[in-house]
Amino acid sequence: EPKSEKGLSPQEPSEKMDLKPYVDKMTSLKAEANRAQERIRRAIKDKDLAAEAEAVADRRRISTEMRELTNELKEKNNGELPAGWFDRVGL
């Protein structure tokens, strides 16, 4: 049974948690953040201040979502993040 939750620390959460939705959401957010970062780079290169401001705002929103997702997971997991959870949450 634990093989579907590989990467968890030896002390298991009191209630079995399905990490997959959290991992999937974080993976999706990281991809969005990377796209926003690329838009920022392109806007700076093109000296497009409006596009840069929009991309920076998107990246800030995504970072907030990543933090909230991590906090929610920590709360549901007895105040601890599972081992192997994403090391860098912010950008």
Q: How confident is the model at residue 4 (pLDDT cuts 50, 70, 90)?
A: very low
Is the dihedral angle over the CA atoms 23, 26, 24, 71 positive or is it negative? positive
- Predicted TM-score (pTM) of the model is 0.74
CB 62 within 8 A of CB 36: yes
Measured in whole angstroms, how far is the alpha carbon of residue 68 from the centre of its chain?
A: 9
CB 46 within 8 A of CB 72: no
Residue 16 has what DSSP assignment?
-
Q: How confident is the model at residue 1 (pLDDT cuts 50, 70, 90)?
A: very low
